[in-house]
């Protein structure tokens, strides 16, 4: 569904003709909310690959990354193994300059300040890493948007979330609450379908309710 068609679709339910800018702004808010709170399969990247040669042991995160999904694997020659994700304090304590592990074989990682850190400091070998992560959505929705995200999954669910944000802005909490309940019910069905899809169940129905 294009941005222009989407605007018409939302206005059919909103019954206001003077809030086009607000509808597009609320659409962006709704998409951001959905992508950040619910990691849909359509908004994940699997096996993003990068290589490092020691002593370089860090790399910037992908520009479209929202957060990692808890998995980085390392490959060197024919060997592949997972890295342990640890928090910043532990990473610094174990792999900091004063406590460096000397074997240089990757064992753990930490993501901080837009950078992926590998520990310990790598030896002179070249290692290839694969990262799974969720996408960050940072594109405004306008009339010329080719495909509005989530409309191919369940456009009514997205519309109800947009109406929720619109009524919040209009200080109409009862209407906002009603739209949120509808949106949440539709979202529950979609996430259940997502779970079935991941588990290999093929009878999935994404049609609007």
- What's the rounded mean pLDDT across residues 68-90? 92
pLDDT exceeding 90 applies to what percent of the chain?
64
> Between the ranges 33-37, 61-65, 79-83, 201-205, where is the mean pLDDT highest?
79-83
Determine the Cα–Cα distance for residues 183 and 165; give it in Å rounded to an integer: 11
8 Å CB contact between 120 and 107? yes
Asked if the model's pLDDT at residue 98 lies above 60, the reply is: no
pLDDT exceeding 70 applies to what percent of the chain?
89
Determine the Cα–Cα distance for residues 48 and 66; give it in Å rounded to an integer: 14
Determine the Cα–Cα distance for residues 164 and 167; give it in Å rounded to an integer: 5
- Among all chains, which residue has been given the structure tokens 């003709």? 17
Determine the Cα–Cα distance for residues 112 and 39; give it in Å rounded to an integer: 20
* More confident site: 67 or 131: 131
Task: Write down the pLDDT at residue 28.
Answer: 95
Task: Write down the pLDDT at residue 2.
Answer: 97
8 Å CB contact between 161 and 177? no
Q: Could you give the C-alpha distances from 104 to 30, 56, 63, 110, 111, in angstroms and in order?
A: 44, 11, 27, 16, 19
Task: Write down the pLDDT at residue 201.
Answer: 39
Contacts with 157 (C-beta within 8 Å, 6 or more apart), sequence order: 150, 183, 186, 187, 190, 208
Task: Write down the pLDDT at residue 195.
Answer: 56
Structure tokens at 78: 């024919």
Asked if the model's pLDDT at residue 59 lies above 60, the reply is: yes
Extended beta strands in the chain, E state: 44-53, 58-60, 65-76, 79-82, 84-85, 108-112, 115-119, 126-135
Determine the Cα–Cα distance for residues 18 and 11; give it in Å rounded to an integer: 10
Q: Which band of pLDDT confidence, cut at 50, 70 and 90, is reported for residue 119?
A: very high
Closest CA to 175 of 186, 187, 165: 165
List, for residues 150-160, the tens digit of each pLDDT value. Answer: 998 899 999 99
């Amino acid at each position: 569904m294009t941005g222009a068609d989407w605007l018409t679709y939302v206005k059919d339910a909103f019954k206001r003709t003077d809030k086009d800018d607000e509808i597009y702004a609320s659409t962006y808010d709704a998409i951001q909310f959905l992508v950040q709170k619910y990691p849909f399969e359509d908004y994940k990247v699997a096996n993003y690959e990068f290589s490092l040669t020691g002593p370089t042991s860090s790399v910037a995160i992908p520009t479209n990354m929202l957060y990692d999904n808890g998995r980085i694997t390392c490959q060197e020659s024919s060997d592949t193994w997972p890295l342990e994700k640890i928090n910043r304090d532990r990473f610094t304590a174990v792999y900091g300059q004063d406590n460096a592990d000397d074997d240089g074989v990757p064992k753990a990682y930490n993501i901080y300040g837009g950078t992926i850190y590998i520990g310990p400091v790598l030896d002179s070998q070249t290692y290839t890493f694969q990262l799974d992560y969720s996408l960050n959505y940072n594109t405004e929705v306008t009339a010329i948007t080719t495909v509005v995200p989530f409309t191919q999954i369940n456009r009514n669910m997205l519309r109800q979330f947009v109406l929720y944000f619109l009524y919040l802005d209009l200080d109409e909490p009862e209407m906002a609450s009603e739209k949120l309940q509808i949106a949440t019910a539709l979202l529950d069905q979609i996430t259940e379908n997502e779970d079935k899809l991941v588990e290999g169940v093929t009878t999935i129905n994404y049609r609007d309710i």
